[in-house]
Structure 1
C-alpha cells in the first residue's frame, strides 16, 4: 500500500519524481510548457481525492494484520526527546528546503529560474553553509547513477524524434483511433499508455520511449495540448505501482516479503483502475474548470 500511495505524491508535483522533468522537457519540445505551479494546481484535486480513496480502498481489499499500535506515540516522543533540539545544520537545511519550495513554485514565473537552476541553487547553499560536503555528494552513488541514466534516456528520446520514430509511431496510433472524438480517443490512448507499463521496468524508461509519441498522437486527435501533456504526465508516475518491477523502489518493497506476487499484481491492478477513474474523471472535470479544455 505504501508504495502506491507514494506514487500519488510523485504525480502531484513536478519535482517529486525523476521522470517528471523529462515529461516537462518532452512536452516543451512540442510547444507545451508546463510549470511547477501549473502542474501542482492541476494535480491538486485528483491527488487529494486519490489520497483519501486509495488507502481506504486498499485497506478493505488487503487489510493489515496489525491494526492497532498504541505504543507508537510514546515511542515517537521518546525518539524525539533523544534527538534533542535542532542543530544549526538542521535549521539551515529547513530554511533551504522552504526556499527551494518557493523557487520551484514561483521561481520560473517571477525570476525565470528553471527547476534545474533552483535545485543547483539549493545544493550550492547547502555546500556553502557546510550542511553538506563534497564528500557527501560523491557518496550518493544512486543519485549519480540516476543522473547518468537520465542523460542517456534524454538523448535517446531526442534521437528517436530526430530519426522519425516518434512521428511514425504517433501516426500509427492516430490512425488506430481515427474516427473517434478526441475524448474517447484520448481515453484509449491513455489506457494503452498506462497498461503498456507492464512491459517496462522503470517509469523513466517508458517516458523516454513513449511519452512524446503518445502526446503527439493525442494532440493530433484534437485533445488540448496542456490537458494531454498533464494527464500523460500524471500517468507516468501512477503506473509505477502496477507490478513488482514497475519502478526502481518496487523490487525493494516487494523484497521485504509482506505481499505475495499475486497479491501485489492484484492490488496493483485495482489501484490502477481506481487511479484512472479518479485522475481522468474528477481530474478531467477539474482541468475543465481550470480552462485547459
Structure 2
C-alpha cells in the first residue's frame, strides 16, 4: 500500500506536466501546480512522514521548477511564527506552568462536573495564545490532568466512563476546537490560512485584528460548548465534594511556584502585549514570538534537548515551509486568478445573495472534512479553492476569510480523526464513535449558526462588509 501511494504521488504530477498547458496559464505556473499537487497528495496519502514527503517533492520538483522557488517558503516569516510558537509550548511543559494553571482551575471551578469542565475550557483558552499546537496544549498538557481527576473519582474508560470521564473527554475535544479560533496563534493552520488569504484575497489580518474580529463569535462558542455537551452527554457525577483535595494534591506534587514559572508567566504576558499592540509598535507577530523564544532560551526556561526532540515543531516547520513556498509561487504566477476565471466560465453567481454564497461555502468547508485526516492538509488543499470561489462570487473578503478560518478548527468535530488531538482523546476509549460523531456534528452545526448570525452581525456592525 505504501508503494502504491508513492506511485500515485509521482504519476499525478507527471500527468499534469505532460498535459497541454491550459490557455491563459504560463508553463512555469503549470509545472508549479504539478509540484503543488504532489505536495497536497503527500499530505493526504502520507506514504511516509510529512517532512520526508516534502523533501522528496522538493528534490524531484527541482527538475521542473527552480530550487529557489521551492525553498522560498522557508524564508517566510509566517513559517517562523508557527515554528517559534511551537517551541514556546515546550517551555510551558518544561517549567510545569501549564500543569499549575490547570490545577488552579480545578481548585477554582471543580465543585461540580460542569464547573470542572469550564475550568478545563478556561485553562485551554489562557494557554492558547502561545500554544499553536492544540495537540500539545489540549491533549498533552490539559487533558491528562483532568482525566486523572476523572480516574480519581472512579471513572475509567469502559463501564464507569459515563460517571464523568466521558464528559471530560468529549467536552475537552470540543473545547480545543473552539479555543483554536480565538487567537491567530492558537492553532497552527490559522496562520497558514492567513497566509493563503494574503496571497489570494489580498487581505492581511494581524494578531490583534484576528482577536477583535473573532472575539464575539468564538468566545460565545467557548462559553456555550461545555454546557451543550453537558446537556447532550450528561455525566452521572454532578458534584465533586473533594475537588479541592484533588487540586491541592496536584499542586503539592508540583511544589511552590518556581522562579522559572514566574519568569515564563512574565514573558507570556509581554508576548500578549506585543501581539496585541503590533499595529502601534510595528512589531510583527513573528518578531514577538522569536523574542519570546529567545527570552525563554536565555533564562533556560526550556531544555534545548527537548526542543531538538520536539518532532511536532520540526515536522511542521518542514511541511509548512514547503506549502507556503509553493502557494506563494502559484499566487505570483497568477494561478489562482486563472482558476477563478475557469470557475467564472462554468459557474454563475449572478443574482445570488452574497450571504447565501458565504453560507454555502461554509457548509461545504465543514462537510468536506470527512475526507481529510489532517487539519493542515485540509487548509493547504481546499482553502485555496474556497477562497478562489469566494473571490469569483465577489463576496466580502474579510468575512469569507474569517468564516472559513474558524471552520478549519471546528470542522474537525465531525470526526475523531479530523485533527491530531482527536486520536489522542478518542483513543482513551471513553467515548463510543457513534456518540463522538453525532455530538460532534451537532456542535459543528451550532458553530455554523453562531458564525453566520452572531459573527456576521458583529462584523457588519464594525464595518467589515
Normalising to structure 2: TM-score of the pair? 0.59
Match of 1:32 in 2: 203
In the aligned structure 2, how far is the partner of 1:191 from the partner of 1:92? 44
Q: Deviations over 1:99-145 (max 9, x none)?
A: 111112112x1232222221111111111112224223112122212
Match of 2:220 in 1: 49
Q: 2:411 aligned with 1:239, yes or no?
A: yes
Q: How far is the alpha carbon of 1:270 from its aligned partner?
A: 0.5
Q: How far is the alpha carbon of 1:84 from its aligned partner?
A: 3.2
Question: Contact (CA 8 Å) 2:274, 2:288: kept in 1 or not?
Answer: yes
In the aligned structure 1, how far is the partner of 2:404 from the partner of 2:237? 37
Q: 2:255 aligned with 1:84, yes or no?
A: yes
In the aligned structure 2, how far is the partner of 1:18 from the partner of 1:218? 23
Q: How far is the alpha carbon of 1:244 from its aligned partner?
A: 0.9
User: Considering only aligned residues, what root-mean-square deviation do their CA atoms show, in Å?
Assistant: 2.0
Question: Contact (CA 8 Å) 1:157, 1:209: kept in 2 or not?
Answer: no
Deviates more, 1:62-71 or 1:170-179: 170-179
Match of 1:250 in 2: 422
Q: 2:436 aligned with 1:270, yes or no?
A: no
Q: 2:392 aligned with 1:220, yes or no?
A: yes
Higher relative contact order (CA 8 A, sep 6+): 1
Question: Contact (CA 8 Å) 2:207, 2:276: kept in 1 or not?
Answer: yes
Q: 2:299 aligned with 1:129, yes or no?
A: yes
Aligned length: 292
Q: How far is the alpha carbon of 1:164 from its aligned partner?
A: 6.7
In the aligned structure 1, how far is the partner of 2:287 from the partner of 2:238? 44
In the aligned structure 2, how far is the partner of 1:209 from the partner of 1:160? 13
Match of 1:195 in 2: 367
Match of 2:464 in 1: 292
Deviates more, 1:161-170 or 1:12-21: 161-170
Q: Deviations over 1:258-282 (max 9, x none)?
A: 1111111111110111110011111
Unaligned 5+ runs, structure 1:
none
Q: Deviations over 1:28-66 (max 9, x none)?
A: 113101011111111111122212322222221111233
Deviates more, 1:13-22 or 1:47-56: 47-56
Q: How far is the alpha carbon of 1:94 from its aligned partner?
A: 0.7
Q: How far is the alpha carbon of 1:220 from its aligned partner?
A: 2.4
Q: 2:327 aligned with 1:153, yes or no?
A: no
In the aligned structure 2, how far is the partner of 1:94 from the partner of 1:49? 26
Q: How far is the alpha carbon of 1:153 from its aligned partner?
A: 2.8
Normalising to structure 1: TM-score of the pair? 0.92
Question: Contact (CA 8 Å) 2:179, 2:186: kept in 1 or not?
Answer: yes
Q: Deviations over 1:163-221 (max 9, x none)?
A: 77645654566654623121111111111122111111111111111212212321322
Match of 2:91 in 1: none
In the aligned structure 2, how far is the partner of 1:172 from the partner of 1:237? 29
Question: Contact (CA 8 Å) 2:340, 2:391: kept in 1 or not?
Answer: no
Question: Contact (CA 8 Å) 2:343, 2:392: kept in 1 or not?
Answer: no
In the aligned structure 1, how far is the partner of 2:274 from the partner of 2:322? 27
Question: Contact (CA 8 Å) 1:156, 1:208: kept in 2 or not?
Answer: no
With over 3 angstroms needed to count, the CA separation of the structure-2 counterparts of 1:54 and 1:88, relative to structure 1, is: closer
3-state SS in 2 of match to 1:247? coil
Larger radius of gyration: 2
Question: Contact (CA 8 Å) 1:7, 1:238: kept in 2 or not?
Answer: yes
3-state SS in 2 of match to 1:11? coil
Question: Contact (CA 8 Å) 2:178, 2:409: kept in 1 or not?
Answer: yes
Q: How far is the alpha carbon of 1:82 from its aligned partner?
A: 4.3
